[in-house]
């Protein structure tokens, strides 16, 4: 079985994440996409990230009606920093019937690949999918890792978690940017204010 691993902070998960996962599932004929929220990401400022339990719950709410979407909390449970390479290795051990892993990264995250732990090993152990996004050019990344990453175009939606957090803080609506259950969860738990 071919699976997609969709890593990220998902702070919060939004419609763009769901569209990307759905399209990648279809384009690459994957058996499933597993959302892997990061626990302690090495390249993000911890003060900007809400508790993992909230992020995990929002993902559960967002994907509950998608039969081929799953969630893994392995990075949240892992002590210390969470590294993509460790996650890929652990997934290969956990799912014995995996034939291929497709690691899905949005353009903003993918551009940071050279700073990740052992990027060449990541590229050797999984198909790396960099999903385009308005305002982010992947050209330098494609040049640096020629033939080792696949750029996926035409499926991004111009929405970001940082914009959603800003909108909540300013009292603006986030309808249609996140699923309704996620919007209610953010409001009921006073997140991002």
Mind listing the pLDDT tens digit for each residue in 10-23?
A: 999 999 999 999 99
The reported pLDDT for the residue numbered 41 is 64
Tell me the residue ranges of DSSP E strands in the chain.
2-8, 32-37, 69-71, 100-106, 127-131, 149-152
Mean pLDDT, to the nearest integer, of 64-85?
Answer: 93
What is the average pLDDT score of the chain?
93
List the domain boundaries for the chain: 2-157
How far is it, in rounded angstroms, from Cα 42 to Cα 89?
Answer: 18
- How far apart (Å, rounded) are the C-alpha atoms in residues 133 and 149? 16
Lowest average pLDDT, out of 27-36, 54-63, 74-83, 183-192, goes to: 74-83
* DSSP code string of 134-174: TTB--HHHHHHTTTTEEEE-S---S--HHHHHHHHHTT---
The CATH number of domain 2-157 is 2.60.40.1120: no
Whether 115 contacts 43, CB under 8 Å = yes
What integer pLDDT is reported at residue 158 of this predicted model?
A: 83
């Amino acid at each position: 079985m071919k699976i997609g691993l969709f890593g990220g902070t998902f702070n919060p998960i939004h419609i763009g994440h769901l569209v990307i996962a759905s399209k990648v599932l279809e384009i690459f004929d994957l058996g499933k996409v597993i959302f892997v929220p990061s626990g302690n990401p090495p390249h993000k400022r911890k003060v900007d990230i809400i508790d993992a339990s909230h992020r995990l719950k929002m993902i559960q709410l967002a994907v509950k009606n998608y039969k081929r979407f799953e969630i893994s909390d392995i990075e949240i449970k892992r002590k210390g920093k969470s590294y993509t390479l460790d996650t890929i290795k652990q997934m290969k051990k956990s799912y014995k019937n995996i034939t291929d892993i497709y690691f899905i990264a949005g353009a903003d995250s993918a551009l940071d690949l050279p700073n990740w732990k052992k990027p060449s090993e990541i590229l050797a152990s999984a198909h790396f999918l960099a999903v385009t996004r308005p305002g982010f050019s992947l050209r330098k990344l494609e040049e640096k890792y020629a033939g080792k990453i696949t750029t996926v175009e035409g499926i991004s939606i111009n929405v970001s978690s940082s914009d959603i957090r800003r909108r909540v803080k300013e009292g603006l609506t986030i309808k249609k940017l996140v699923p309704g259950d996620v919007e209610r969860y953010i409001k009921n738990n006073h997140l991002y204010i």
